[in-house]
Amino acid sequence: MAKSILIADDNPEIRKLLCHLFEAQHDYDLCAQAATGQEAIDLALLHHPDLVILDLSMPVMDGLVAARELKKLLPKILVILFTAYADLGKQLLAANKSLDRVVSKTETNELMVQVRSLIPN
């Protein structure tokens, strides 16, 4: 059975890029897309994905706050912070139990590596 993934990024081009990335993978299904952290939480509660990919900087609720809420509500959910601020994200990863991985938006190929390491097929 395919693993389900939810993407949250306020940039529609990034969401489109990630959709194409996961459409090419037969063992992963994109269950939902969100433009804000709050929308990501609402959709995660509805769809119960295996993994959520969050942008750090989003309106309404940023990715870090959304990750904390997701881990409270769905403790087994896995979270990747996909951010242009990878250095900051890595500092946050070291100090924050809400994040499972941090990947730079400049390293899209690394994203699939991290997805596969967290939820292998």
Sorted by where each starts, the structural domains of the chain and their CATH numbers stand as: 3-116 (3.40.50.2300)
**pLDDT tens figures, 70-107:** 999 999 999 999 988 766 656 665 566 788 998 988 88
26 by Cβ neighbours in 10 Å (0-12 / 13-18 / 19+) ranks as exposed
pTM of the shown model: 0.91
- Can you give the pLDDT at residue 121? 73
